[in-house]
Amino acid sequence: MPRLCDRAFEILAAEVKRLCGSDPLQKVRQDIVLKRLERFRSVEGPPLTLAEMRQAVEDIFPEFSEKVLKRAAKANGVAVVQRQLGCVGVTALGLVGLTGAVWLLNLPYPMIRWPVARVAPIVLLPSFIRMDRDYRQTVSLVAQADQLVNQATSAQDIELGNEKVTQAQEHLDGLPVWFLGYYPRTYCTFASCTWRFTFDEFQTARSEVGRMEARVFQEKNSQDLLQTATATVETAKQTYRTSQEPSAKTAALVAWQSGMDKLNEIPAETLAGRMAQTKLAAYSRDYEQVAGSVAGSTRSNTLIGAAREFALTAAQEGQNPPHNADTWRRIAALWEQAIDRLEQVPVEDAGYTEAQRLLANYTKNLGIVESKVSAEEDSARALESAEAKTQELLAQNLEGVAPNQIASELQGITNDLGRVQSGTTSHQKAQEMLRSAEEKLKQLNR
Protein backbone atom coordinates (compact mmCIF):
# COMPACT_ATOMS: atom_id res chain seq x y z
CA MET A 1 0.00 0.00 0.00
CA PRO A 2 1.66 3.40 -1.05
CA ARG A 3 2.35 5.82 1.77
CA LEU A 4 0.67 8.70 -0.10
CA CYS A 5 -2.55 8.16 -2.00
CA ASP A 6 -3.35 9.84 -5.30
CA ARG A 7 -5.96 12.16 -3.82
CA ALA A 8 -3.59 13.49 -1.13
CA PHE A 9 -0.83 13.94 -3.74
CA GLU A 10 -3.15 15.98 -5.93
CA ILE A 11 -4.11 18.25 -3.03
CA LEU A 12 -0.49 18.92 -2.10
CA ALA A 13 0.64 19.36 -5.71
CA ALA A 14 -2.10 21.90 -6.38
CA GLU A 15 -0.96 23.99 -3.41
CA VAL A 16 2.70 23.81 -4.54
CA LYS A 17 1.78 25.03 -8.02
CA ARG A 18 -0.30 27.84 -6.56
CA LEU A 19 2.59 29.03 -4.45
CA CYS A 20 5.03 28.93 -7.38
CA GLY A 21 2.68 30.53 -9.86
CA SER A 22 4.21 31.32 -13.34
CA ASP A 23 7.55 32.56 -12.01
CA PRO A 24 10.35 30.58 -13.76
CA LEU A 25 12.61 31.08 -10.74
CA GLN A 26 10.18 29.07 -8.58
CA LYS A 27 10.37 26.08 -10.94
CA VAL A 28 13.28 24.58 -9.02
CA ARG A 29 11.45 24.64 -5.67
CA GLN A 30 8.39 23.14 -7.28
CA ASP A 31 10.30 20.23 -8.82
CA ILE A 32 12.07 19.42 -5.56
CA VAL A 33 8.85 19.14 -3.53
CA LEU A 34 6.92 17.26 -6.22
CA LYS A 35 9.75 14.70 -6.51
CA ARG A 36 9.59 14.14 -2.75
CA LEU A 37 5.84 13.62 -2.88
CA GLU A 38 6.16 11.29 -5.90
CA ARG A 39 8.60 9.17 -3.97
CA PHE A 40 6.12 8.82 -1.07
CA ARG A 41 3.47 8.01 -3.65
CA SER A 42 5.45 5.07 -5.03
CA VAL A 43 6.84 3.69 -1.74
CA GLU A 44 4.88 0.99 0.13
CA GLY A 45 4.50 1.44 3.87
CA PRO A 46 2.42 3.03 6.56
CA PRO A 47 0.35 6.02 5.43
CA LEU A 48 2.07 9.44 5.55
CA THR A 49 1.10 11.43 8.65
CA LEU A 50 0.38 15.16 8.89
CA ALA A 51 3.79 15.81 10.52
CA GLU A 52 5.62 13.92 7.77
CA MET A 53 3.77 15.88 5.11
CA ARG A 54 4.65 19.14 6.82
CA GLN A 55 8.32 18.11 7.09
CA ALA A 56 8.41 17.26 3.38
CA VAL A 57 7.32 20.75 2.27
CA GLU A 58 8.09 23.33 4.95
CA ASP A 59 11.88 23.58 4.31
CA ILE A 60 11.17 24.60 0.71
CA PHE A 61 7.81 26.32 1.24
CA PRO A 62 7.68 27.72 4.80
CA GLU A 63 4.47 29.49 3.84
CA PHE A 64 2.72 26.23 2.91
CA SER A 65 -0.95 26.27 4.05
CA GLU A 66 -1.64 24.29 7.19
CA LYS A 67 -5.23 23.82 6.11
CA VAL A 68 -4.13 22.16 2.87
CA LEU A 69 -1.82 19.85 4.81
CA LYS A 70 -4.68 18.75 7.01
CA ARG A 71 -6.90 18.13 3.99
CA ALA A 72 -4.24 16.01 2.41
CA ALA A 73 -3.63 14.05 5.61
CA LYS A 74 -7.37 13.39 5.94
CA ALA A 75 -7.65 12.25 2.34
CA ASN A 76 -4.66 9.97 2.81
CA GLY A 77 -6.23 8.38 5.92
CA VAL A 78 -9.62 7.86 4.19
CA ALA A 79 -7.92 6.14 1.32
CA VAL A 80 -6.17 3.77 3.67
CA VAL A 81 -9.47 2.92 5.34
CA GLN A 82 -11.12 2.39 1.98
CA ARG A 83 -8.36 0.04 0.93
CA GLN A 84 -8.72 -1.91 4.15
CA LEU A 85 -12.47 -2.08 3.76
CA GLY A 86 -12.01 -3.18 0.22
CA CYS A 87 -9.85 -6.07 1.37
CA VAL A 88 -12.38 -7.01 4.00
CA GLY A 89 -15.20 -6.81 1.46
CA VAL A 90 -13.34 -9.07 -0.90
CA THR A 91 -12.73 -11.53 1.93
CA ALA A 92 -16.39 -11.36 3.02
CA LEU A 93 -17.54 -11.76 -0.55
CA GLY A 94 -15.35 -14.78 -0.84
CA LEU A 95 -16.76 -16.26 2.34
CA VAL A 96 -20.31 -15.55 1.18
CA GLY A 97 -19.57 -17.16 -2.11
CA LEU A 98 -18.09 -20.20 -0.41
CA THR A 99 -21.05 -20.43 1.96
CA GLY A 100 -23.45 -20.14 -0.94
CA ALA A 101 -21.62 -22.88 -2.78
CA VAL A 102 -21.76 -25.18 0.25
CA TRP A 103 -25.44 -24.37 0.68
CA LEU A 104 -26.09 -25.11 -2.97
CA LEU A 105 -24.26 -28.41 -2.81
CA ASN A 106 -26.22 -29.38 0.32
CA LEU A 107 -29.61 -28.84 -1.28
CA PRO A 108 -31.80 -31.95 -0.79
CA TYR A 109 -31.82 -32.99 -4.44
CA PRO A 110 -30.36 -36.30 -5.60
CA MET A 111 -28.85 -34.86 -8.77
CA ILE A 112 -26.73 -32.51 -6.62
CA ARG A 113 -25.93 -34.61 -3.58
CA TRP A 114 -25.11 -37.93 -5.17
CA PRO A 115 -22.19 -36.62 -7.28
CA VAL A 116 -20.89 -34.59 -4.33
CA ALA A 117 -21.22 -37.59 -1.99
CA ARG A 118 -19.07 -39.68 -4.36
CA VAL A 119 -16.40 -37.02 -5.07
CA ALA A 120 -16.22 -34.77 -1.98
CA PRO A 121 -18.43 -36.11 0.83
CA ILE A 122 -16.88 -33.70 3.33
CA VAL A 123 -18.74 -30.86 1.58
CA LEU A 124 -21.96 -32.51 2.72
CA LEU A 125 -20.91 -32.21 6.37
CA PRO A 126 -23.79 -29.78 7.23
CA SER A 127 -26.28 -32.25 5.75
CA PHE A 128 -24.74 -35.14 7.67
CA ILE A 129 -24.86 -33.17 10.91
CA ARG A 130 -28.49 -32.24 10.31
CA MET A 131 -29.46 -35.80 9.36
CA ASP A 132 -27.70 -37.17 12.42
CA ARG A 133 -29.53 -34.66 14.62
CA ASP A 134 -32.90 -35.35 12.95
CA TYR A 135 -32.42 -39.08 13.35
CA ARG A 136 -31.48 -38.89 17.00
CA GLN A 137 -34.33 -36.47 17.75
CA THR A 138 -36.81 -38.64 15.84
CA VAL A 139 -35.91 -41.74 17.81
CA SER A 140 -36.02 -39.88 21.14
CA LEU A 141 -39.23 -37.98 20.45
CA VAL A 142 -41.08 -41.02 19.10
CA ALA A 143 -40.23 -42.91 22.30
CA GLN A 144 -41.37 -39.99 24.47
CA ALA A 145 -44.55 -39.50 22.46
CA ASP A 146 -45.32 -43.22 22.65
CA GLN A 147 -45.07 -43.17 26.45
CA LEU A 148 -47.12 -39.99 26.83
CA VAL A 149 -49.85 -40.82 24.31
CA ASN A 150 -50.24 -44.59 24.62
CA GLN A 151 -49.66 -44.68 28.39
CA ALA A 152 -51.38 -41.40 29.27
CA THR A 153 -52.58 -40.86 32.82
CA SER A 154 -53.98 -37.36 32.44
CA ALA A 155 -55.08 -34.82 29.85
CA GLN A 156 -51.76 -33.02 30.35
CA ASP A 157 -49.96 -36.15 29.15
CA ILE A 158 -51.99 -36.03 25.94
CA GLU A 159 -51.16 -32.36 25.37
CA LEU A 160 -47.44 -32.90 25.94
CA GLY A 161 -47.54 -36.06 23.83
CA ASN A 162 -49.10 -34.09 21.00
CA GLU A 163 -46.20 -31.63 21.14
CA LYS A 164 -43.72 -34.51 21.03
CA VAL A 165 -45.51 -36.08 18.06
CA THR A 166 -45.41 -32.77 16.18
CA GLN A 167 -41.69 -32.36 16.88
CA ALA A 168 -40.99 -35.97 15.88
CA GLN A 169 -42.85 -35.40 12.62
CA GLU A 170 -40.76 -32.30 11.88
CA HIS A 171 -37.49 -34.16 12.44
CA LEU A 172 -38.77 -37.15 10.48
CA ASP A 173 -39.58 -34.85 7.58
CA GLY A 174 -35.98 -33.63 7.77
CA LEU A 175 -34.65 -37.09 6.89
CA PRO A 176 -34.20 -37.32 3.09
CA VAL A 177 -36.12 -40.36 1.89
CA TRP A 178 -34.01 -40.63 -1.24
CA PHE A 179 -30.89 -40.91 0.95
CA LEU A 180 -32.12 -44.00 2.83
CA GLY A 181 -29.46 -46.68 3.05
CA TYR A 182 -26.58 -44.23 2.55
CA TYR A 183 -24.00 -44.32 5.33
CA PRO A 184 -21.55 -41.35 5.40
CA ARG A 185 -18.47 -43.22 6.55
CA THR A 186 -16.18 -40.19 6.51
CA TYR A 187 -18.46 -38.26 8.83
CA CYS A 188 -19.21 -41.21 11.07
CA THR A 189 -15.52 -42.02 11.64
CA PHE A 190 -15.22 -39.01 13.92
CA ALA A 191 -18.90 -38.35 14.85
CA SER A 192 -19.71 -41.84 16.19
CA CYS A 193 -22.89 -42.34 14.19
CA THR A 194 -25.37 -44.81 15.65
CA TRP A 195 -27.91 -44.64 12.87
CA ARG A 196 -28.57 -46.40 9.62
CA PHE A 197 -31.08 -44.98 7.23
CA THR A 198 -33.13 -47.98 6.12
CA PHE A 199 -36.48 -47.90 4.40
CA ASP A 200 -38.09 -50.25 6.96
CA GLU A 201 -36.91 -48.10 9.84
CA PHE A 202 -38.20 -44.98 8.18
CA GLN A 203 -41.56 -46.58 7.40
CA THR A 204 -41.91 -47.89 10.96
CA ALA A 205 -41.25 -44.45 12.43
CA ARG A 206 -43.62 -42.83 9.95
CA SER A 207 -46.37 -45.34 10.74
CA GLU A 208 -45.87 -44.95 14.47
CA VAL A 209 -46.07 -41.17 14.25
CA GLY A 210 -49.18 -41.45 12.08
CA ARG A 211 -50.87 -43.76 14.58
CA MET A 212 -50.04 -41.45 17.45
CA GLU A 213 -51.38 -38.45 15.55
CA ALA A 214 -54.66 -40.32 15.06
CA ARG A 215 -54.63 -41.36 18.73
CA VAL A 216 -54.09 -37.78 19.86
CA PHE A 217 -56.96 -36.63 17.62
CA GLN A 218 -59.22 -39.29 19.10
CA GLU A 219 -58.11 -38.45 22.63
CA LYS A 220 -58.80 -34.75 22.12
CA ASN A 221 -62.29 -35.46 20.81
CA SER A 222 -62.90 -37.81 23.72
CA GLN A 223 -61.66 -35.22 26.21
CA ASP A 224 -64.01 -32.62 24.70
CA LEU A 225 -66.94 -35.04 24.96
CA LEU A 226 -65.94 -35.90 28.53
CA GLN A 227 -65.89 -32.23 29.54
CA THR A 228 -69.25 -31.59 27.86
CA ALA A 229 -70.92 -34.62 29.44
CA THR A 230 -69.46 -33.89 32.87
CA ALA A 231 -70.63 -30.28 32.71
CA THR A 232 -74.12 -31.45 31.70
CA VAL A 233 -74.39 -33.85 34.65
CA GLU A 234 -72.98 -31.39 37.19
CA THR A 235 -75.36 -28.66 36.01
CA ALA A 236 -78.30 -31.07 36.20
CA LYS A 237 -77.35 -32.13 39.74
CA GLN A 238 -77.11 -28.51 40.85
CA THR A 239 -80.44 -27.68 39.22
CA TYR A 240 -82.12 -30.64 40.90
CA ARG A 241 -80.81 -29.62 44.33
CA THR A 242 -81.87 -25.98 44.02
CA SER A 243 -85.19 -26.32 42.17
CA GLN A 244 -88.47 -26.36 44.05
CA GLU A 245 -90.85 -27.01 41.17
CA PRO A 246 -91.47 -30.70 40.31
CA SER A 247 -91.32 -29.91 36.58
CA ALA A 248 -87.85 -28.35 36.99
CA LYS A 249 -86.66 -31.38 38.95
CA THR A 250 -87.99 -33.70 36.25
CA ALA A 251 -86.19 -31.70 33.55
CA ALA A 252 -82.99 -31.84 35.60
CA LEU A 253 -83.25 -35.64 35.83
CA VAL A 254 -83.70 -35.84 32.05
CA ALA A 255 -80.56 -33.71 31.52
CA TRP A 256 -78.72 -35.84 34.08
CA GLN A 257 -79.55 -39.00 32.14
CA SER A 258 -78.55 -37.32 28.87
CA GLY A 259 -75.13 -36.45 30.31
CA MET A 260 -74.60 -40.06 31.41
CA ASP A 261 -75.56 -41.26 27.92
CA LYS A 262 -72.83 -39.04 26.49
CA LEU A 263 -70.31 -40.54 28.90
CA ASN A 264 -71.26 -43.98 27.59
CA GLU A 265 -70.50 -42.82 24.03
CA ILE A 266 -66.82 -42.13 24.81
CA PRO A 267 -64.57 -44.94 23.44
CA ALA A 268 -63.49 -47.13 26.35
CA GLU A 269 -59.94 -47.55 24.98
CA THR A 270 -59.16 -43.86 25.39
CA LEU A 271 -57.97 -42.13 28.56
CA ALA A 272 -61.17 -40.06 28.55
CA GLY A 273 -63.16 -43.30 28.24
CA ARG A 274 -61.52 -44.77 31.33
CA MET A 275 -62.11 -41.55 33.24
CA ALA A 276 -65.70 -41.47 31.98
CA GLN A 277 -66.40 -44.97 33.34
CA THR A 278 -65.22 -43.88 36.80
CA LYS A 279 -67.40 -40.77 36.71
CA LEU A 280 -70.31 -42.76 35.27
CA ALA A 281 -70.27 -45.20 38.19
CA ALA A 282 -70.54 -42.32 40.69
CA TYR A 283 -73.15 -40.46 38.65
CA SER A 284 -75.25 -43.62 38.20
CA ARG A 285 -75.18 -44.35 41.93
CA ASP A 286 -76.33 -40.82 42.75
CA TYR A 287 -78.94 -40.93 39.99
CA GLU A 288 -80.40 -44.20 41.26
CA GLN A 289 -80.70 -42.76 44.74
CA VAL A 290 -82.37 -39.61 43.48
CA ALA A 291 -84.54 -41.48 40.99
CA GLY A 292 -85.58 -43.93 43.72
CA SER A 293 -86.48 -41.03 45.95
CA VAL A 294 -88.43 -39.41 43.14
CA ALA A 295 -90.22 -42.68 42.38
CA GLY A 296 -91.04 -43.10 46.06
CA SER A 297 -92.22 -39.52 46.26
CA THR A 298 -94.36 -40.03 43.17
CA ARG A 299 -95.83 -43.23 44.62
CA SER A 300 -96.50 -41.51 47.94
CA ASN A 301 -98.06 -38.52 46.26
CA THR A 302 -100.31 -40.81 44.22
CA LEU A 303 -101.49 -42.81 47.24
CA ILE A 304 -101.96 -39.72 49.40
CA GLY A 305 -103.82 -38.00 46.57
CA ALA A 306 -106.16 -40.98 46.20
CA ALA A 307 -106.73 -41.04 49.96
CA ARG A 308 -107.60 -37.37 49.93
CA GLU A 309 -110.17 -37.97 47.18
CA PHE A 310 -111.91 -40.70 49.22
CA ALA A 311 -111.75 -38.48 52.30
CA LEU A 312 -113.23 -35.55 50.40
CA THR A 313 -116.07 -37.68 49.11
CA ALA A 314 -116.72 -39.05 52.60
CA ALA A 315 -116.77 -35.54 54.05
CA GLN A 316 -119.19 -34.37 51.37
CA GLU A 317 -121.48 -37.36 51.99
CA GLY A 318 -121.45 -36.66 55.72
CA GLN A 319 -122.70 -33.07 55.35
CA ASN A 320 -126.13 -32.03 56.60
CA PRO A 321 -126.71 -34.83 59.13
CA PRO A 322 -128.55 -36.75 60.39
CA HIS A 323 -128.28 -39.68 58.01
CA ASN A 324 -129.62 -43.17 58.23
CA ALA A 325 -127.41 -46.13 59.08
CA ASP A 326 -126.92 -47.15 55.43
CA THR A 327 -125.63 -43.71 54.55
CA TRP A 328 -123.24 -43.73 57.49
CA ARG A 329 -122.04 -47.19 56.52
CA ARG A 330 -121.32 -45.94 52.99
CA ILE A 331 -119.45 -42.98 54.45
CA ALA A 332 -117.49 -45.33 56.70
CA ALA A 333 -116.53 -47.41 53.65
CA LEU A 334 -115.14 -44.29 52.00
CA TRP A 335 -113.02 -43.53 55.05
CA GLU A 336 -111.80 -47.12 55.06
CA GLN A 337 -110.73 -46.77 51.41
CA ALA A 338 -108.82 -43.60 52.26
CA ILE A 339 -107.14 -45.32 55.22
CA ASP A 340 -106.24 -48.32 53.05
CA ARG A 341 -104.42 -46.03 50.57
CA LEU A 342 -102.48 -44.34 53.34
CA GLU A 343 -101.43 -47.65 54.84
CA GLN A 344 -99.79 -48.56 51.50
CA VAL A 345 -97.22 -45.74 51.75
CA PRO A 346 -93.82 -47.39 52.57
CA VAL A 347 -91.77 -46.18 55.49
CA GLU A 348 -88.82 -45.25 53.21
CA ASP A 349 -90.91 -42.91 51.03
CA ALA A 350 -90.62 -39.18 51.50
CA GLY A 351 -94.40 -38.86 52.02
CA TYR A 352 -94.59 -41.39 54.85
CA THR A 353 -94.83 -38.75 57.59
CA GLU A 354 -97.66 -36.93 55.82
CA ALA A 355 -99.42 -40.21 55.24
CA GLN A 356 -99.24 -41.05 58.97
CA ARG A 357 -100.60 -37.65 59.92
CA LEU A 358 -103.57 -38.09 57.58
CA LEU A 359 -104.00 -41.69 58.71
CA ALA A 360 -104.43 -40.60 62.30
CA ASN A 361 -107.05 -38.01 61.30
CA TYR A 362 -108.92 -40.37 58.96
CA THR A 363 -108.96 -43.15 61.57
CA LYS A 364 -110.53 -40.75 64.06
CA ASN A 365 -113.15 -39.75 61.47
CA LEU A 366 -113.87 -43.41 60.74
CA GLY A 367 -114.43 -44.02 64.45
CA ILE A 368 -116.88 -41.11 64.60
CA VAL A 369 -118.81 -42.43 61.61
CA GLU A 370 -118.87 -45.95 63.02
CA SER A 371 -120.29 -44.57 66.30
CA LYS A 372 -122.98 -42.79 64.29
CA VAL A 373 -123.84 -46.04 62.54
CA SER A 374 -124.20 -47.73 65.91
CA ALA A 375 -126.27 -44.84 67.26
CA GLU A 376 -128.57 -44.95 64.23
CA GLU A 377 -129.07 -48.68 64.54
CA ASP A 378 -129.69 -48.53 68.31
CA SER A 379 -132.03 -45.57 67.98
CA ALA A 380 -133.93 -47.21 65.13
CA ARG A 381 -134.41 -50.38 67.18
CA ALA A 382 -135.59 -48.38 70.22
CA LEU A 383 -138.03 -46.40 68.09
CA GLU A 384 -139.34 -49.57 66.48
CA SER A 385 -139.83 -51.13 69.92
CA ALA A 386 -141.68 -48.05 71.14
CA GLU A 387 -143.88 -48.00 68.07
CA ALA A 388 -144.66 -51.71 68.42
CA LYS A 389 -145.63 -51.28 72.08
CA THR A 390 -147.72 -48.24 71.18
CA GLN A 391 -149.60 -50.26 68.55
CA GLU A 392 -150.23 -53.02 71.07
CA LEU A 393 -151.53 -50.52 73.60
CA LEU A 394 -153.83 -48.88 71.10
CA ALA A 395 -155.11 -52.24 69.98
CA GLN A 396 -156.43 -52.99 73.50
CA ASN A 397 -159.80 -51.92 74.93
CA LEU A 398 -158.48 -49.41 77.37
CA GLU A 399 -161.78 -49.22 79.27
CA GLY A 400 -161.32 -52.76 80.55
CA VAL A 401 -157.63 -52.26 81.38
CA ALA A 402 -156.57 -51.13 84.77
CA PRO A 403 -154.90 -47.69 84.91
CA ASN A 404 -151.81 -49.14 86.55
CA GLN A 405 -151.31 -51.53 83.64
CA ILE A 406 -151.75 -48.73 81.11
CA ALA A 407 -149.30 -46.61 83.02
CA SER A 408 -146.82 -49.48 83.07
CA GLU A 409 -147.06 -49.96 79.30
CA LEU A 410 -146.71 -46.21 78.71
CA GLN A 411 -143.63 -46.23 80.94
CA GLY A 412 -142.14 -49.01 78.80
CA ILE A 413 -142.81 -46.96 75.68
CA THR A 414 -141.21 -43.94 77.34
CA ASN A 415 -138.16 -45.96 78.28
CA ASP A 416 -137.69 -47.14 74.68
CA LEU A 417 -138.06 -43.62 73.35
CA GLY A 418 -135.51 -42.41 75.90
CA ARG A 419 -132.92 -44.70 74.30
CA VAL A 420 -133.23 -42.88 70.96
CA GLN A 421 -130.08 -40.73 70.72
CA SER A 422 -130.05 -37.12 69.66
CA GLY A 423 -128.62 -36.42 66.22
CA THR A 424 -130.16 -39.50 64.70
CA THR A 425 -132.91 -39.77 62.12
CA SER A 426 -135.20 -41.35 64.71
CA HIS A 427 -134.74 -38.61 67.30
CA GLN A 428 -137.38 -36.13 66.12
CA LYS A 429 -140.15 -38.75 65.83
CA ALA A 430 -139.11 -40.26 69.13
CA GLN A 431 -139.40 -36.85 70.82
CA GLU A 432 -142.91 -36.37 69.46
CA MET A 433 -143.97 -39.82 70.68
CA LEU A 434 -142.23 -39.19 74.00
CA ARG A 435 -144.17 -36.00 74.59
CA SER A 436 -147.45 -37.77 73.78
CA ALA A 437 -146.66 -40.68 76.11
CA GLU A 438 -145.67 -38.37 78.95
CA GLU A 439 -148.88 -36.38 78.51
CA LYS A 440 -150.95 -39.53 78.84
CA LEU A 441 -149.01 -40.56 81.92
CA LYS A 442 -149.80 -37.24 83.51
CA GLN A 443 -153.46 -37.72 82.78
CA LEU A 444 -153.46 -41.15 84.38
CA ASN A 445 -151.75 -39.84 87.50
CA ARG A 446 -154.37 -37.17 88.17
Q: Tell me the per-residue pLDDT of 331-364, one tens digit each, with 9 for 90 and over.
A: 999 999 999 998 998 887 778 888 999 999 999 9
* Distance separating alpha carbons of residues 177 and 141, to the nearest angstrom: 19
* Distance separating alpha carbons of residues 182 and 126, to the nearest angstrom: 15
Question: Tell me, what's the pLDDT at 129?
Answer: 66
Q: Residue 2: what are its φ and ψ, rounded to 5°?
A: -60, 150
Cα torsion 398, 402, 407, 408: sign:
negative
Question: Tell me, what's the pLDDT at 86?
Answer: 46
The whole-model pTM stands at: 0.43
Tell me which of 110 and 246 has the higher pLDDT. Answer: 246
Percent of the chain at pLDDT > 70 equals 77
Torsion angle of the four alpha carbons 316, 322, 324, 326, in this order, in degrees rounded to the nearest 10:
20
Give SS3 for 36.
helix
Q: Residue 436: what are its φ and ψ, rounded to 5°?
A: -65, -45
pLDDT tens digit string along 168-193? 777 777 666 555 555 455 445 545 55
Residue 110 has pLDDT above 60, yes or no: no
* Distance separating alpha carbons of residues 318 and 328, to the nearest angstrom: 8
Do 73 and 55 form a contact (C-beta atoms < 8 A)?
no
pLDDT tens digit string along 144-176? 877 777 777 777 887 887 888 888 777 777 666
Percent of the chain at pLDDT > 90 equals 15
* Distance separating alpha carbons of residues 165 and 163, to the nearest angstrom: 5
Question: Tell me, what's the pLDDT at 12?
Answer: 83
Count how many Cα atoms sit within 13 Å of the Cα of residue 159 in the half-sphere of its side chain: 5
In this structure, which amino acid lies at residue 153?
T
pLDDT tens digit string along 115-142? 666 555 556 556 666 776 777 777 777 7
Q: What number is the average pLDDT over the span 35-43?
A: 81
